[in-house]
Amino acid sequence: MNIITGLGNVAGAALTGNKKVRKLSFTGSTAVGRMVAKPQQKDWCPSRWS
């Protein structure tokens, strides 16, 4: 586990754009989550919670 701090748009873009990052979890507002997720949504696979 790695903990990375920073602005959502900067740190999020770097992490979601890196193919080596397989999973990502963050804390913050819904608005920031949407901003981080938007550019990479086309590459995401749906997940299931059991």
Q: Taking Cα atoms as reference points, which of 4, 1, 7 lies closest to residue 23?
A: 1
pLDDT computed for residue 47 by the predictor: 65
Tokens 């299931």 belong to which residue? 48
At position 32, the amino acid (one-letter code) is: V
- Checking 32-38 for CB contacts under 8 A at 24+ apart, the result is 32/8, 33/8, 35/8, 35/9, 36/8, 36/9, 36/12, 37/12
Distance of CA 40 to the CA centre of its chain: 8
* 1-50 tens-digit pLDDT: 788 887 767 777 788 778 888 887 777 788 877 777 776 777 666 666 54
pLDDT value at residue 48: 65
Q: Confirm whether pTM is higher than 0.85.
A: no
